[in-house]
A and B are shown apart, each in its own frame.
Chain A
Amino acid sequence: PALAGKLGLGREALPEEVAAWDVAVLPDGTGLRPGSGDVATGDEVFAEKCASCHGEFAEGLDSWPVLAGGGGTLTDRRPVKTVGSYWPYLSTVWDYVHRSMPFGAAQTLSVDETYAITAFLLYSNGLVDEDFVLSDENFREVELPNAVGFYPDDRPQTEYPLFSGEPCMSDCRRPVAITKRAVELNVTPQDPDGRPAGTLPPLSEAAALPADP
């Protein structure tokens, strides 16, 4: 049932509270805070706070995310999706780093540090020179290479018509052959007996019961 009006619950948020929690930056620059940072400063901050996972050149260590490189690989068999090769907007870099990195110690970067790291990531991706200074003033001028690489969900046009309608029930296709088997990869966690972990225990009386805890 529709309410007759507002319930009068909650209280007005104070500007300081909104400023503390609404740190989102939108693609058009909405939400950016005044500040700046250059590539060299970003390099230093990155070395101190980021490189232990992401590598000195943002190339990624071990299996930690790669932040730079991969340009032109999006149609490869194994694409390398990075800030430079895949991400559409610089706003997302600033916003995500500022809010959620470093991993395990998020929200410890200042506004200027975040500008500097963002400048360094642009440099690591070969998108600016080493003397580049990023600020709230020139932020909107930066366009990432894959800015036009995305389009809204088109399944209603490209898939739903193909997959709708009365399906075949009998003699639908030629007899089938097995082409792939997961057991050949053998990468699933296993129970002690070698079966996939979590396999239902046999119910025969001889079956061992789990130990009394």
Chain B
Amino acid sequence: MSDEPIARTSRRDFLRSTALAGAGLVAGSATAGAAGPDPKIVEVQDWASSFGDPVDATPYGMPIRFESHVVRRNVEWLTESPVSSINFTPIHALEGTITPQGCAFERHHSGAIELSKADYRLMINGLVDTPLVFTFEDLLRFPRSVTTAFCECAANGGMEWAGAQLEGCQYTQGMIHNMEYTGVPLRLLLEEAGVKPEGKWVYAEGADASSNGRSLPLDKALDDVMVAFFANGEALRKEHGYPVRLVVPGWEGNIWVKWLRRLGVYDQAVESREETSKYTDLMPDGRARKWTWVMDAKSVITSPSPQVPIRHGKGPLVISGLAWSGNGRITRVDVSLDGGVNWQSARLSGLALPKALTRFHLDIDWNGEELLLQSRAVDETGYVQPTKDQLREIRGLNNVYHNNGIQTWWVKADGEVENVEVA
């Protein structure tokens, strides 16, 4: 897919047809005439005359106050304690693919700890030739790599398994962020210690009280897992694992161990709490899947959405959204306006990197009628994002994790948007 709009005709033709379709129908549309001279133009505004802030006003800046709605949000009733809890990225208000770190979601099991680079230690032990201890200074001397990847909580959308529950894609799809990471391939650290032939699993745990220990098969550990120090150009944020976290492209967020302190090499999986009691997926026969590591192809329309109603009336409307797959690149996203009866392919805007958030757009001419918006991602393996009902048919209602079902938004005639399910 290219970055070109899939316009059938030229942009000029598009605007002309839009104007014709909307003629006499829409007050305040782009083509309506002005009632009189706009004072924002014809009167000299303060900012066009006096000074703005000096360059030393904000050594490290925050967003302008008009964007105060673009923040992480908590839903208190979801968990029993705010230190073993989740908050949500404001994906409804973001564009492109890179998540600003300051509003990228958090999930902790014993809170966000403060660990300085001076206090930091990383141990490699177990079935290795030489058990090692690294300081942060040591880690900065290994050859580096860069990767961009989404981190999606296994529970993203989990509250929606049984039906439409929360209002807004921030809440129903926002346990996710996407950053450009720099760090050391885990493979290089393991090679430094020398993994013995009987070493088949790597157990990673954090420095926090919860430890969040998880077992990784050696194949994945040697493939694309990174021990990361930088995200989106700067050090990791405290709440994202400062100074060191694991980056595990395509795999469920829980295994992206933060404040990483130890890598133990074993001949079997540890079967820790976070891979037995939690992050196992109950199926209809009462048994459960374990080791469901990969996050499958998924997408959501971020605008319009319940937190982004249409207030501009009929006419040109941008449908914008995110697609991603833990199984590789997104190759296509289809959008339906009628609840899945008919589909059209959107365009992928920018790069479709493997195991990374991918932006899609579809420009339509909204005639003011109700819509049932859906998006459907396709990845390079040929996998097509399923409906929630298709997933439930196999998994039942108590899977808890890995809900990648198609999301439906009901756009009403007044432009308000609801989270709904359809049948």
Contact = CB atoms under 8 A, between A and B. Distances in A.
Interface string B259-272: 00110101011111
Contacts of B71: 198
B192 A75 contact: no
Contacts of B308: 199-200
A176 B423 contact: yes
Contacts of B293: 153
Contacts of A209: 65-66
Given A26-B270, A212-B65, A152 B291 contact: yes
A168 interface: yes
B65 A210 contact: yes
Interface in A159-211: 159-160, 162-165, 167-183, 185, 187-189, 195-204, 209-210
A152 B201 CA distance: 15
Interface string A23-38: 0111110100000000
Given A18-B123, A21-B262, A74-B286, A178 B410 contact: yes
A183 B61 CA distance: 37
Nearest to B109: A100
Contact of A153 (B81, B141, B289): B289
A172 B141 contact: no
Contact of B131 (A13, A196, A203, A204): A13
Contact of A198 (B76, B168, B213): B168
B282 A178 contact: no
B143 interface: yes
B69 A159 contact: no
A27 B271 contact: yes
Contacts of A201: 66, 69
A115 interface: no
B296 interface: yes
A9 B134 contact: yes
A24 B213 contact: yes
A55 interface: no
Given A26-B270, A30-B266, A188-B171, A173 B287 contact: no
B296 to A, nearest CB: 7
Interface stretch (B50-58, B273-281, B316-324, B360-368): B273-281
A169 B342 contact: yes
Contacts of B398: 78-79
B384 A103 contact: no
What DSSP secondary structure best describes chain A's contact surface? loop
B191 interface: yes
A160 B398 CA distance: 20
Given A28-B268, A167-B384, A182-B164, A199 B419 contact: no
A3 B189 CA distance: 12
A105 to B, nearest CB: 8
B69 A200 contact: yes
A92 B165 contact: no
B106 interface: no
A48 interface: no
B87 to A, nearest CB: 11
A81 to B, nearest CB: 7
Contacts of B80: 62-65
Nearest to B133: A13
B84 interface: yes
Interface stretch (A83-91, A119-127, A130-138): A83-91
B167 interface: yes
A62 B419 CA distance: 30
B273 A96 contact: yes
B419 A150 contact: no
Contacts of A78: 398
Given A3-B191, A103-B110, A167-B334, A200 B92 contact: yes
Contact of B290 (A11, A107, A153, A164): A153
Contacts of B116: none
25 contacts: A21-B262, A24-B272, A75-B286, A92-B273, A104-B209, A106-B110, A150-B276, A153-B294, A160-B383, A162-B394, A170-B342, A170-B343, A175-B341, A180-B420, A181-B410, A182-B164, A182-B306, A185-B164, A187-B166, A189-B74, A189-B76, A196-B307, A199-B168, A199-B306, A199-B309
Given A18-B131, A149-B288, A153-B294, 8 more contacts: A13-B133, A63-B80, A99-B211, A163-B390, A169-B334, A179-B423, A197-B168, A201-B69
Interface of A: 3, 6-7, 9-13, 17-18, 21-22, 24-28, 30, 62-65, 74-75, 77-79, 81, 86-89, 91-92, 95-96, 99-100, 103-104, 106-107, 149-155, 158-160, 162-165, 167-183, 185, 187-189, 195-204, 209-210, 212-213
Interface of B: 65-66, 68-71, 73-77, 80-81, 84, 90, 92-93, 109-110, 123-126, 130-134, 138, 141-143, 163-168, 170-171, 188, 191-194, 203, 205, 209-211, 213, 261-262, 264, 266, 268-273, 276-277, 280, 282, 284-294, 296, 306-309, 311, 334, 338-344, 372, 376, 378, 381-386, 390, 394, 397-398, 410, 418-423
